Amino acid sequence: EDPEVIEAFSQWIDVDLWREQLGLARARRQAIWYGIFAESFNPLLGQALNGEITAEEALQAAGDEWNSLKEQVQG
């Protein structure tokens, strides 16, 4: 509610719309191993997009990694 902050933010954002969006925002639920998974998936995605591997190969490797991480966490 600081007028100086509102003025500064108003230079690059619609403050009223931003507040409305903050009221609607919800945290994304994700598996606790998601960050680790993303580190292995992102290179696979890049390889698939570059044609180095097929989409099927990327998805198979990603699925294998997901299942492995899930097993490690759940035991």
Q: What gap in Å lies between CA 28 and CA 64, rounded to an integer?
A: 23
- Domain membership of residue 55 (yes or no) is yes
- Domain membership of residue 43 (yes or no) is yes
pLDDT for 20 beyond 80: yes
pLDDT, mean of residues 22-46: 90
Dihedral in degrees, nearest 10, Cα atoms 29, 39, 69, 27: -10
- Domain membership of residue 15 (yes or no) is no
- Domain membership of residue 9 (yes or no) is no
Residue 57's alpha-carbon distances to 36, 37, 52, 63, in angstroms, are 19, 16, 10, 10
Full domain range(s) for residue 58: 34-74
Give the chain's domain count.
1
- Domain membership of residue 17 (yes or no) is no
Closest by CA to 73, choosing from 39, 28, 37, 41, is: 37
- pLDDT given for residue 28 in this prediction: 83
Q: What is the CA radius of gyration of the chain?
A: 20
* Model pLDDT for residues 41-69, shown as the tens digit of each residue: 999 999 999 999 999 999 999 999 999 99
- Domain membership of residue 56 (yes or no) is yes
pLDDT for 75 beyond 80: no
- Domain membership of residue 12 (yes or no) is no
Please provide the average confidence, as pLDDT, over all residues in the chain. Answer: 92
**Which structure tokens are listed for 68?**
């492995």
